[in-house]
A and B are shown apart, each in its own frame.
Chain A
Amino acid sequence: MIKAKTIKFGDNVDTDQIIPAQYLSLSTIQQIAPHTFEFHGNFANDFKPGDIICGNDNFGCGSSREQAPAVLQERGVSAVIARSFARIFYRNAINIGLLLVECEKADEIRHGDVLEIDPQKGVIRNITTDCNLEITPLPPFMQEILNCGGIVKYIDNRRGQYDGLECKSISEI
């Protein structure tokens, strides 16, 4: 269960906005992360570690840079909610174990709303507006990767080197 306030964005949040190109050559995610969403007042002024990011359609479009989900994770974003995600961002985020939540009614969530996300029950509770929003479940295969904490641990598990959560191999899906 995640409970936090929302930092709100609109449609087509591209990865250049999340982390501009000139910072990608810095050596570590820790060095890059301070520049996350630096052109966005909502994030720069209001974000606190643990907060939830919420966009509308096509969140994470554009460049394939994995630094985009990585800096969100590094800054302490607890989950990203959107009506839809761009393909590469979606894959990158799951691969590194960042929680993505697809919600048809994400556009009803406002900046500053306090949300409770229960991925197991598949529901977002908007405490500020006192209503429930349904989560579109992750495909089972993606859920397995996320359950493992990302693709690296998923692969470790396939090799039998990881004793954590139970994960299925790709061929079993």
Chain B
Amino acid sequence: MNAIEKIIAAHAGLKTVKPGQIVDVNLDYVMANDATTTLSIDVFQKELKGERVFDREKVVLVMDHYTPCCSVDAAETHKKMRQFGRDQELSYIYDGVGVCHQLMLEHHAKPGDFIIGADSHTCTYGAIGALSTGMGSTDVAVAWMEGKVWIKVPFAIKIRVSGKWPKGVYSKDLALKVIGDLTAKGATYKALVFEGEAIRDMTVSERVTLCNMGIEAGAKFAYMQPDEKVKTFMKDMGREYDPVIEDDDDASYEWILTYDVENLEPQIAYPNSVDQVKSLSDFEGLEIDEVFLGACTNGRFEDLEIAAAILKGKKISDKVRMLVTPVSNAVYMKAMERGLIGTFIESGAMVSPPGCSACFGGTIGLIGPGERLLTTANRNFKGRVGSPDGEIYLASPATAAASALYGKITDPRKVI
């Protein structure tokens, strides 16, 4: 078996599993956020007639998509969520302190876990060796009740990445390149497993960016073998680190793709699909109206640090507005202590409290008709962030910062 099959087998109480097999897995955590939880609550209470969730320590609720509330409807959603959480005496209800996936990484997920979340980007925790995937509200309500879900064991695609990272090229560029090649449906129902020298050389934060984007190729899981860096990350977060689960000698993969990052250039995904990807050079000079630095994809300290190094002592173009949203309060605090927040404000950017912010068109940072947004988030769907007649381009934090300086899409290698 490969490592993914071994984690599934361990959670299904089976010695072996094989791709295509349907099994019930016991869950380490069930996470839900404010975009979809009210539906889960309705299903749990009205349809399933649920009284208590299976384990109040393992059901995590996060308010992040609509924080701080910008409408009475959102406030009602939050009120209902908080009440449910209190009635169920849940141990973990996070309210406006960060994006759900970052909080799961900071406080809960660990290597070898099996976690589901009512959010498609739940595949993120594979970056630290946990199996995690997104599901809908009804599946989550069932999981609240039973503590398990059915899952079909996926075929796996291995992505082997070699080479040394060139200056100005980052995890986000690799993620976009891979999705462009695989297409938006290329990994549907499958697991993506990343390995190789370039993956080992990545920080945990960069690995999170790559796994976060796995769903954009349709993947059920994105996964990386945890290593010493993950061990250090877990220690820094004050949590235990389970023994590493490795592929058996007979581990099978449906196919193997290879990449060498040495020749990789900064990439851009252009409207209206994440798999529409070209080298940044094809868009160089394209005027933009707004820049967003943040999201579970690229709102961590390391991302802010890369952007702040580019913006330090400079002013963003008066043709753009820039919004910076740290992904969690822990990141916000560290960025403040290290002076990054001051750098952003002095450069002319806006800094908002943590949350999904302008990644999800539910609260702030929306664009108008005909406007162009360059964002470090993970989706560029039509109308995702405001007007359906606007355009959304995806890029790395370095590209975002360099582009903010000039008011047009700019290669970060020119300014670092």
- List, in ascending order, chain A residues with CB within 8 A of B145's CB: 155
Q: Does B64 contact A (CB under 8 A)?
A: no
Contact A92 B77 (CB under 8 A): no
Return chain B residues, CB-CB under 8 Å to A39. Answer: 382-383, 388
- Chain B positions 251 through 275: 1 when the CB is less than 8 Å from some CB of chain A, otherwise 0: 0000000000000000000000101
Q: What 0/1 readout, one digit per residue, does chain A (145-171) give for beta carbons within 8 Å of chain B?
A: 000001110010000000000000011
A residues adjacent to B (C-beta < 8 A):
12, 14, 16-17, 20-22, 24-27, 29, 39, 57-58, 61-67, 69-70, 84, 86-88, 91-92, 95-96, 141, 150-152, 155, 170-171, 173
Binding site for A on B (CB under 8 A): 22, 24, 34-36, 38-39, 43, 47-48, 65-66, 71, 73-74, 76-77, 118-120, 122, 134-139, 142, 145-146, 150, 184-185, 188-189, 218, 220, 273, 275, 360-362, 379, 381-384, 388
Taking chain B's interface residues, is the majority helix, strand, or loop, or is none over half, making it mixed? loop
CB pair B136–A66 under 8 Å, yes or no, is: yes
Q: A16-B384, A66-B136, A141-B22 are in contact. Are A21 and B361 (CB under 8 A)?
A: yes
Given A39-B383, A86-B188, A151-B142, A25 contacting B134 (CB threshold 8 A): no
Question: Can you spell out 10 A-B residue pairs with CB atoms less than 8 angstroms apart?
Answer: A12-B275, A24-B36, A25-B76, A25-B362, A64-B136, A65-B35, A70-B39, A95-B138, A141-B22, A150-B138
Check if A21 sits within 8 Å of B184, measured CB to CB: no
For A20, A62, A87, A95, the residue with the greatest tally of chain B CB atoms inside 10 Å of its CB is A87
Q: How far is the CB of B332 from chain A (nearest CB, A)?
A: 23
Minimum CB–CB distance for B397 against chain A, Å: 22
Question: Could you tell me the distance in whole angstroms from the C-beta of B158 to the nearest C-beta in chain A?
Answer: 19
Contact A88 B77 (CB under 8 A): no
Known: A22-B362, A87-B220, A173-B22. A58 touches B139 (CB 8 A): no
User: What CA separation (Å) do A27 and B327 show in the bound complex?
Assistant: 27
With A61-B184, A92-B139 given, can you name 6 additional A-B contacts, CB distance below 8 Å? A16-B382, A58-B185, A88-B136, A92-B136, A141-B22, A151-B138
Task: Say yes or no: A88 contacts B120, CB within 8 Å.
Answer: yes
Closest residue of chain A to B389 (Cβ to Cβ) is A39
CA distance A137 to B138 in the complex (A): 23
B35 touches A66 (CB 8 A): no
A20 to B34 Cα, complex, angstroms: 15
Between A26, A29, A96, A151, the greatest number of chain B beta carbons within 10 A of the residue's beta carbon is seen for A151
User: Distance in Å from the Cβ of B398 to the closest Cβ of chain A?
Assistant: 26
One of B76, B135, B185, B361 near A64 (C-beta < 8 A): B135
Contact of B139 with A95 in the complex, beta carbons under 8 Å = yes
Q: Which residues of A contact B384 (CB under 8 A)?
A: 16, 21
